[in-house]
Amino acid sequence: MYEEELAFALELAEEAGRIGLSYFRGSFDVHEKVDRSPVTEADLAIEAMLRREIRARYPEDAVLGEEGGLEGASSRRWIVDPIDGTRNFADGVQIWSTLIALAVDEVPVLGVVELPALGERYAAVRGGGATLNGEPIHVSRADRLERAFVLYGEARDLLDTPYAEAFLELIRGARRERGFGDAWAHMLVARGSADIMLEPELASWDWAALWVVVEEAGGRVTTFEGEPLAHGASVLSTNGVLHDEVLARLAHARRRHAP
C-alpha cells in the first residue's frame, strides 16, 4: 500500500536535496520569522517546489508546510518541512533535512527524511518497515539506561521545563549523551545507533515523517506523557524497550514539579 506515493515522495526528496545543496555553504538570504526562527531562500525554494509537484500529481490532496501553512482540505494531507535544521543549514553544518510525510485521516502513513549533505535517505510506509538508502534498518536492543545513548535537541529547552530533573538523571545515567538535535537524532534511534531522543516541543511538520520511520524500524514514539503526538507537543523517540522507563522518569519529575 502507498507504493506509488512512496516512489513520488522519493522523487521529491531527490529534487529537494538538489535544491538544498545548491544553496548550502553558499551565499543566501536569511530572515527572521515572527516566532524568531530563521528562514532561508532554500527553505522557500524547496517548499515551493514540493507544493507545486504535489498539486500537479495529487490535486485533491491537502498540503501542510512550515512556511506556507495549510492548503486544501482532504482526508489525505502531505506534511512537509523544506529544511528541518535551518540554523544548522545557515551555519554550514551538514545536519539538516527535508521531511516529507503523507497523513490519511490525520494519521501519518508514509515518511521520507532526506539528509543530502550526509548522503542519507530514510523512508518508511506503515506496515512496510523502514530503510536507510534502500537497506532495512532496526532500532537497538539496549534494555537498560546505563547501556543507552541519549540524544536531545538543545539542553536549555529541556532545562526550562518540568522535566529538567528527569532529563539530567537520564544523561547522567546513560552510557553516552549528545545534543545532536533535529530529525537526524530521531533517525539515529531508528537505525539503532542511539536509543533515546527527547524534544520538548515540535510542530506537525517536524515529527510526521519521523514518527513513521522510527515506528517502522521497531521503535516507539509518543509525547512525554505517553500520548499520541500533536502539533506543538513534546516528542520522545526510543527503541521501544526503554520507552516505559523513560516515561516513568518524566512522570515522576512532572509530579515533583507540580504546585
pLDDT in tens, 119-170: 999 999 999 999 999 999 999 999 999 999 999 988 998 998 999 999 999 9
**Residue 214 pLDDT exceeds 90:** yes
First-to-last alpha carbon distance for the chain, in angstroms, is: 49
Indicate the SS3 state at residue 207. helix
Closest C-alpha among 201, 200, 146 to residue 177: 146
| Max CA separation in the chain (angstroms) | 53
Binned at pLDDT 50, 70 and 90, residue 223 comes out as very high
Residue pair 195/231 in contact (Cβ under 8 Å)? The answer is no
Domains of the chain: 3-136 (3.30.540.10), 145-257 (3.40.190.80)
Query: What is the grid cell recorded at 191?
Result: 537505525
Report the chain's mean pLDDT, rounded to a whole number. 93
- Say how far apart CA 252 and CA 160 lie, in whole Å: 16
**Residue 34 pLDDT exceeds 60:** no
pTM to 2 decimals? 0.94
The whole-number pLDDT of residue 25 equals 75
